[in-house]
Amino acid sequence: MSEKGIVGVDVGGTNIKAALVVARTIKKRVILPTKTHQGLRSSIAQIQSAIEPFIDKANAIGVGIAGIIDSRHGIVKYSPNLRGWHDVKLVHILKKKFKKPVKILNDVNAICLGEWKYGSAKGYNNVFLFTLGTGVGGAAVCEGKLLFGAHGFAGEFGHTVIKYNGPKCTCGAFGHLERYAGARFIVARARRKMRKENSSLNDYHHITPEIIADEAKRGDSVSKRVFSEIGFYIGIGVANIINLLDPDVVIVSGGISRAGNILFEPVRKTVNDRILGKHNRIFKIIPAKLGDDAGILGAAYFATAYDK
């Protein structure tokens, strides 16, 4: 008889990724559209369809999902990317359907748990992870415990203030890090510079932060300056984290975390300039290792191995 696995699920605003995880390894995968525009029932049906192919080979289900997640009671309190999701008893729904143990947690917490148990943060007791994408998310391990906070709303790194009188964020408040380092604002910064100066970015119809990173590496001066500027802003945010949480390691996850020195150099320089007691701290700021798998592996781990 072969070893039973766990179904790990990562529910995003666009896609649902699910996989069978056996002995800490992803065996088979499925990706389905989230169908959030069709409402709550359709999205739940899609989550069930993503789990279905693996359920006979699994002992448990773990789901990572964006938003405020009450892991203890198994409720999705609110999810900004999933239309109509308010106080959804997801654990109850999935247990009833599949008759197996189910646990849910915030998606960035799942990524953090994945990188902590199997990836870049393995072996450390104090970890901070942040994701760079449309939004800027965060999650922490403090003294060997994943930080949920009082309402499952800890880790909102993108909505920390780096300039109290700065520009307005998508959330309505001012000077938040996401307003500088969220994907659309990185692209807008590049476009502003392109108006004044020649750039190889003009060859592209559609610009993304990944394209800007590639062009920066090829020597485009507009792209290089975009990254040195956003690296500075991210560095300010990371310096605040280091001063507050004193982590062993800071993990950068998401699309542009693979940009290399073009991103990490200005981040590290700014952190070094801005933290207290730099000679007494040893820490690393490094890219995540597991890519998209981190969320699935973290959710699967949470389903059975984590004591919360």
In the bound state with a copy of itself, the residue whose beta carbon lies nearer, of 82 and 207, is 82
- Which of 149, 167, 184, 198: binder of a copy of itself (CB under 8 A)? 149
Question: Largest Cα–Cα distance in the chain?
Answer: 66
What Cα–Cα distance (Å) separates residue 299 from each residue in 113, 126, 174, 211, 276? 8, 20, 33, 30, 35
165 binds a copy of itself (CB under 8 A): yes
Q: How far is the CB of 182 from a copy of itself (least distance, A)?
A: 14
What is the rounded CA–CA span in Å between residue 164 and residue 243?
18
Q: How far is the CB of 265 from a copy of itself (least distance, A)?
A: 18
Number of residues that bind a copy of itself (CB under 8 A): 56
307 binds a copy of itself (CB under 8 A): no
Query: Own/partner pairs for 269-277, CB < 8 Å, 24+ apart?
Result: 269/231, 269/235, 270/231, 270/232, 270/234, 270/235, 270/236, 270/238, 270/239, 271/235, 271/238, 271/239, 271/242, 273/235, 273/239, 274/235, 274/236, 274/239, 275/239, 275/242, 275/243, 276/243
123 binds a copy of itself (CB under 8 A): no
236 binds a copy of itself (CB under 8 A): yes
Structure tokens at 265: 């150099």
Structure tokens at 147: 């930080």
> Segment contacting a copy of itself (CB under 8 A): 50-58, 149-157, 186-194, 292-300?
149-157
- Which of 30, 40, 93, 245: binder of a copy of itself (CB under 8 A)? 245
Residue type at position 228: S
In the bound state with a copy of itself, the residue whose beta carbon lies nearer, of 8 and 138, is 138
Q: How far is the CB of 110 from a copy of itself (least distance, A)?
A: 17
266 binds a copy of itself (CB under 8 A): no
302 binds a copy of itself (CB under 8 A): no
113 binds a copy of itself (CB under 8 A): no
29 binds a copy of itself (CB under 8 A): no
Contact between 43 and 71 under an 8 Å Cβ cutoff? The reply is: no
What Cα–Cα distance (Å) separates residue 41 from each residue in 18, 36, 83, 230? 18, 9, 10, 39
168 binds a copy of itself (CB under 8 A): no
> Segment contacting a copy of itself (CB under 8 A): 20-28, 156-164, 194-202, 205-213?
156-164
SS (H, E, C) 94-117: HHHHHCCCEEEEEHHHHHHHHHHH
Non-local CB neighbours of 243 within 8 Å, separated by 6+ positions:
275, 276
Q: How far is the CB of 235 from a copy of itself (least distance, A)?
A: 9
Q: How far is the CB of 247 from a copy of itself (least distance, A)?
A: 6
68 binds a copy of itself (CB under 8 A): yes
Query: Where does this chain bind a copy of itself (CB under 8 A)?
Result: 68, 77-78, 124-126, 138, 140, 142-157, 159-165, 171, 173-175, 232-233, 236, 239-241, 243-248, 273-277, 280-283
